[in-house]
């Protein structure tokens, strides 16, 4: 039972961490100072959500019986671990196949339009997810959702306005936004395809109903795309999957190499 | 061609303050973005609960060269301060 809860919390934690990391790559490279700061704030919001979720995941993991612990991660670091796991162990010492984030989160930043498209599809999902999780019978998850929702609402406002601004902007901005949305679209479906953990947690009353989320998500995404004068994307398009099961694109390895280098080279190092 | 986004002046009211105070300026394409940028640039540390944004071109300023004629004449008009009233003895805390 708690194995699925741990997987579920990790899915959301990994999404937040990897999204936050990707967005943080814009720090110092934004097209204008004010938007550079806006994105950096957003990256830190995601990181804060990831921390809350990893702290919970660490407690769940530490509470497992030894036999279940031994089977849970296949990253070698966990085999010889003598001390309880912390949020840092989960972020810095797991290998890629133990990460459960959706493929959308790890996709490269591309240009501004690609970054906006990725955030737009994701932010529309997290607003609905956190809204639903406020009703979770798991109090800790509900509390994290309540706090995160306010941040997600602002992220969604920001990314939606940019989709409209670029889509309904100049000929060039429209073309770039259109291209980015078409390319990112095949990564959007995975958010709504239930993993084993998603299904188990829904049945238990602790998780969100992804089917219900999907129809609300489509409605709102289509509203914004229409206002942005962009084509609606096909609902039945073929979708990329695998992230929730630990099968990632090549991008994740590069992200982890950069993010985890310091802790792996100098274990326990602090600034 | 000028590709710079328009400049905006930002005024923030703090939780304890009654008035909006000028905190600085920033660039944005429209009023909505100006307020959002102000939120991200100037209220990150809980500085405010209300934001005003005014496009800088709408601010009209007095000319520093006119300072003499504008402000100096007030120098010797002490009677403009309400310090010459005889207060009743019952009023202790004025």
A2 exposure class (CB count in 10 Å sphere: 0-12, 13-18, 19+)? middle
Helix and strand counts by DSSP (H, E) for chain B: 2, 3
* A32/B40 CB distance under 8 A: no
CATH number at residue B46: 3.10.20.520
* pLDDT tens figures, A169-195: 999 999 999 999 999 999 999 999 999
Check whether A81 has a pLDDT greater than 90: no
Average pLDDT along chain A:
96
Check whether A1 has a pLDDT greater than 60: no
Domain that holds residue B14: 7-80
- Burial letters for B37-75: b for 16+ Cβ neighbours within 10 Å, e otherwise? bbbbbbbeeeebeebbbeeeeeeeeeeeeeeeeeeeeee
Q: In the predicted model, what is the mean pLDDT of residues A259-263?
A: 95
* pLDDT tens figures, A104-161: 999 999 999 999 999 999 999 999 999 999 999 999 999 999 999 999 999 999 999 9
CATH number at residue A229: 1.20.1260.10
Domain count, chain A: 1
> What is the Cα Rg of chain B in Å?
21
Residue B36 lies in a domain: yes
Say which of B26, B32, B40 has its CB closest to residue A161: B32
pLDDT at B94: 63
Domain count, chain B: 1
Residue B31 lies in a domain: yes
Q: Report residue A247 CA to chain centroid gap.
A: 15
Check whether A48 has a pLDDT greater than 80: yes
* A37/B41 CB distance under 8 A: yes
Residue B14 lies in a domain: yes
Check whether A21 has a pLDDT greater than 80: yes
| Tens digit of pLDDT at every position of chain B (94 positions) | 567 899 999 999 998 888 999 999 999 999 999 999 999 999 988 888 999 999 999 999 999 999 888 888 888 888 888 777 788 888 777 6
Residue A271 lies in a domain: no
Residue B46 lies in a domain: yes
Q: How confident is the model at residue A2 (pLDDT cuts 50, 70, 90)?
A: confident
Residue B91 lies in a domain: no
Say how far apart CA A54 and CA A63 lie, in whole Å. Answer: 14
* pLDDT tens figures, A197-208: 999 999 999 999
Inter-residue contact A138 to A12 (CB < 8 Å): no
pLDDT at B2: 66
Check whether A68 has a pLDDT greater than 60: yes
Which candidate, A175, A213, B32, places its Cα nearest to that of B40? B32
* B37/A41 CB distance under 8 A: no
Which candidate, A128, A119, A149, A152, places its Cα nearest to that of A210? A128
Domain that holds residue A164: 2-265
ipTM of the complex: 0.78
Interface residue of B5, B28, B36, B42 to substitute, partner A, most A CBs within 10 Å: B36
* B40/A165 CB distance under 8 A: no
Which candidate, B30, B75, B33, places its Cα nearest to that of A157? B33
Kindly identify which residue of chain B lies nearest to residue A44, measuring between CA atoms: B44
Residue B94 lies in a domain: no
Residue B11 lies in a domain: yes
Inter-residue contact B6 to B55 (CB < 8 Å): yes
């Amino acid at each position: 039972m708690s194995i699925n809860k741990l997987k579920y919390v990790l899915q959301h934690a990994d999404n937040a961490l990897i999204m936050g990391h990707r967005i943080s790559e814009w720090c110092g490279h934004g097209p204008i100072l004010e938007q550079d700061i806006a994105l950096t704030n957003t990256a830190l919001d995601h990181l804060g959500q990831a921390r809350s979720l990893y702290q919970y995941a660490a407690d769940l993991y530490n509470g497992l019986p030894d036999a279940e612990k031994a089977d849970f991660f296949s990253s070698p670091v966990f085999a010889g671990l003598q001390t309880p796991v912390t949020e840092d162990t989960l972020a810095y010492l797991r290998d890629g196949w133990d990460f459960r984030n959706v493929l959308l989160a790890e996709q490269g930043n591309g240009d501004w339009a690609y970054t906006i498209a990725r955030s737009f599809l994701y932010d529309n999902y997290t607003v609905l997810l956190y809204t639903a999780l406020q009703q979770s019978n798991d109090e800790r998850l509900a509390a994290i959702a309540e706090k995160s929702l306010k941040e997600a609402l602002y992220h969604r406002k920001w990314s939606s306005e940019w989709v409209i601004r670029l889509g309904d902007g100049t000929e060039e901005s429209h073309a770039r936004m259109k291209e980015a949305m078409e390319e990112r679209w095949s990564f959007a479906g995975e958010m709504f395809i239930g993993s084993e953990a998603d299904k188990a947690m829904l049945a238990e009353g602790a998780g969100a109903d992804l089917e219900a989320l999907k129809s609300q998500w489509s409605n709102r995404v289509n509203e914004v795309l229409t206002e942005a004068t962009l084509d609606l994307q096909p609902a039945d398009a073929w979708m990329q999957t695998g992230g929730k099961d630990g099968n990632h694109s090549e991008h994740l390895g590069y992200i982890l190499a950069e993010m985890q280098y310091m802790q792996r080279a100098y274990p326990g190092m602090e600034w | 061609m000028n590709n710079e986004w328009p400049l905006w002046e930002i005024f923030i009211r703090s939780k304890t303050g009654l008035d909006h105070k000028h905190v600085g300026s920033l660039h944005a394409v429209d009023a909505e973005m100006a307020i959002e940028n102000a939120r991200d640039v100037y209220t990150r540390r809980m500085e405010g609960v209300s934001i005003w944004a005014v496009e800088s071109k709408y601010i009209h300023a007095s000319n520093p060269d006119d300072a003499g004629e504008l402000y100096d004449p007030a120098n010797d008009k002490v009677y403009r301060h309400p310090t010459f009233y005889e207060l009743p003895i019952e009023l202790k805390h004025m």
